[in-house]
Amino acid sequence: MLTKATEVLQDYFGYDDFRVGQENVIESVLNGQDTLCVMPTGGGKSLCYQVPALVMEGTVLVISPLISLMKDQVDALREAGISAAYINSTMTTEEYQETMDATIRGDYRLLYIAPERLDSPSFTNRLQLMNVPLVAVDEAHCISQWGHDFRPSYRNIRRMISLFHEKPVLLALTATATPAVREDICSQLTIAENDTVMTGFERENLTFSVIKGQDREKFVIDYVKKNEGEAGIIYAATRKAVNHLYEVLSRRGVRVGKYHAGLSDVEREEGQERFLNDETAVMIATNAFGMGIDKSNIRYVIHYQMPRNMESYYQEAGRAGRDGLDSDCTLLFSSQDVQTQRFLIDQSLDETRIPMELEKLQSMIDYCHTESCLQKFIVQYFGEEDVENCGRCANCTDTRESSEVTEDVQKVLSCVIRMEQRFGKTMIAQVLTGSRSKKVLDFGFNKLTTYGILKGRSTKDVSDFIEFIISENYLGVENGQFPIIYVTEQGRSVLLGKQKVYRKVSVVTKQITKDDPLFEKLRALRRKLAQDAGVPPFVVFSDKTLQDMVSKMPTTEEVFLEVNGVGLTKLERYGEPFLNEIRAFQNETVTST
């Protein structure tokens, strides 16, 4: 059966070999073994149930938490010549009945459903009429109360499995599961823990960076403009921040969209479709966006504000580079992010979950402050031991020069003490720059010896400098209704001249990809063919496939079929226009030389 699976991989998906772990999972499933698959985002989890669906008899049932994921995957499967369908809340009663009837007849190889469908006895009763050899549980961490995205409906899966006359194989898949969550998944779904396939959490094509004490808005503007044309997601913690960044980038002519819970369903759906179809290059969004988005050509993810926990961060950052090409993941840290996330935790969670979420938040804060390898920090969080430094992240490759700023730090620390350590960043910055604001004058801070001691700098610049001092733990932030800044023990050492402080120069934004004229021509052709077919461009071919075309320069169908990601169905549908484009480019190149 594994030989048949390899043939399916080549003929339908256009790949010669399985990725690390895929063959182990597929072999386990085909042998009838319930299995937990833990792979990083972009590791190819979906093939672990899509390939068996073309080998096994019947319809594979896929439990997936988001409508967007269902649609993307069904579109991609149909483009590859595979019969698939989904059932979700957007369907009319008539569409639902037609899809159910067709599934019972055996018309589909895969059927995607939301976990909430399992709450309906009428639906689960009809499932018994289907021939279901395999149930795939995507985003399986949602079944665990220790996970970051607990969905109660996932708890109905085991009961649903028991309804079938012949028990289907169960495959649980996740990208973000700590040891405690993995144990809970196995317990809830009665999967033996030794039937777990883990490929490691490291994403070798991603470069991680944490940037502190810089103007975040300026960084985003520079980065987006330098990488114009590349797809990216910028995550922010609040709707207000999303709206602000959207306006800032729109005014500068960036093709930008936005997504948050304050928009209507129609606005969110339209914005998402424009992004998937490459009509907008950048999506500004809260964490409401992206879970299950199958867009493979996202070249960068920027977190404008620190997320709540490492699970969310790695899942969101992992939406970059799903096609395996080099991509960037940047987190812009401010101490105020901690207060924002603590507020959101207090407002949105049950009291029993708050202590656990605060512990997760602290791990996220530690990540932002570590000077060790960032990728190593992440994979160790998820339980991997004996991890080597990645050699790619900003901490591993940081060669920026440092300048001594001890004297300026002492000025700030001294000012904080003279203000009796009772105020926040803005007021301290105003005093240091000599502001004549009413509050400063009312408190009599204009009489302090530190008043105006940094008068030559803007309040914004001094505020950023205070952020840097906080990030280096010379200043601390006392949590409460209003964040109050105080001098730490480490800061007192600086004040007493026992310790010097150095600050690295600002991070310079970089261009992710090199310009290539043939790649741009193929990308434009892909966009046109996708519009004609009514699917997102990445469903036609991924960026990785286009790059392989540029490398191989195929001019015959035989060579075109050797391109990574080109199967028989894609050759029939798209071979001719792409071959013509490559031939035309070659002729132009010969003529010009």
pLDDT in tens, the chain (593 residues): 788 999 999 999 999 899 889 999 999 999 999 999 998 877 789 999 999 999 999 999 999 887 777 888 899 899 999 999 999 888 899 999 999 999 999 999 999 998 889 988 888 888 889 999 999 999 898 888 766 667 888 889 988 998 898 999 999 999 888 888 899 999 999 999 899 999 888 899 999 999 987 889 999 999 999 998 899 999 998 899 999 999 999 999 999 999 998 999 889 889 888 998 899 999 999 886 755 467 889 999 999 999 989 988 998 998 899 888 999 999 999 878 888 888 888 886 677 778 888 888 888 888 887 878 999 999 999 988 888 999 999 989 887 677 899 999 999 999 999 999 999 988 999 999 999 999 999 999 999 999 999 998 888 889 878 878 887 789 988 755 577 899 999 999 999 999 999 887 666 666 666 668 888 899 899 999 998 888 889 889 988 899 889 888 898 988 898 888 898 888 999 999 999 999 888 887 666 55
CA distance 320 to 327: 6
- Are the C-beta atoms of residues 275 and 283 closer than 8 Å to each other? yes
> Helices (H) and strands (E) in the chain — how many of each?
26, 17
According to the model, what pLDDT value does residue 515 have?
67
Contacts 24+ apart (CB under 8 A), 74-80: 74/110, 74/112, 75/535, 75/536, 75/539, 76/294, 76/535, 76/539, 77/50, 77/109, 77/110, 79/533, 79/535, 79/539, 79/540, 79/569, 79/570, 79/573, 80/12, 80/13, 80/567, 80/569, 80/570
Q: What is the three-class DSSP state of 176? A: coil
d(CA 451, CA 392): 43
pLDDT confidence of residue 513: 64
User: What 3-state DSSP class applies to 546?
Assistant: helix
Distance between CA atoms of 168 and 331, rounded to whole angstroms? Answer: 42
Contact of 114 with 65, CB cutoff 8 Å? yes
Closest CA to 84 of 76, 98, 74: 74
Rounded (10°) angle between helices 310-317 and 354-369: 60
> What CA–CA distance (Å, rounded) separates 301 from 205?
13
The partner residues of 233 in beta bridges, in order of sequence, read 283, 301
Domains of the chain: 2-198 (3.40.50.300), 206-397 (3.40.50.300), 402-504 (1.10.10.10), 517-592 (1.10.150.80)
Backbone angles phi, psi at 239, to 5 degrees: -60, -40
Separation of alpha carbons 171 and 137, rounded Å: 6
Q: What are the C-alpha distances in Å from 104 to residues 82, 97, 107, 529?
A: 17, 11, 8, 34
Residue type, 136: A
If DSSP codes are grouped into helix, strand and coil, which group holds residue 212? strand
Report the distance separating Cα 53 and Cα 109, nearest Å.
6
Q: Which of 403, 408, 399, 407 is nearest to 465 (CA)?
A: 408
Residue 2's CB: how many other CB atoms inside 10 A?
Answer: 14
pLDDT number for residue 290 = 58
Q: List the one residue out of 24, 259, 292, 289 whose CA is nearest residue 176.
A: 292
Mark out the alpha helices in 16-59 (DSSP H runs). 22-30, 47-53
Give SS3 for 130: coil
For residue 470, count other CB atoms closer than 10 A to its CB. 25
Distance CA 253, CA 255 (A): 7
Residue 152 is classified by DSSP as G
Contact indicator for 66, 289 with CB cutoff of 8 Å? no
Of 330, 246, 298, which is closest to residue 510 (Cα–Cα)?
A: 330
Tell me the whole-structure pTM to 2 decimals.
0.69
Number of other CB atoms surrounding residue 7 within 10 Å: 13
Question: Reduced to 3 states, what is the DSSP secondary structure of residue 59?
Answer: coil
Give the largest Cα separation in the chain, rounded. 84
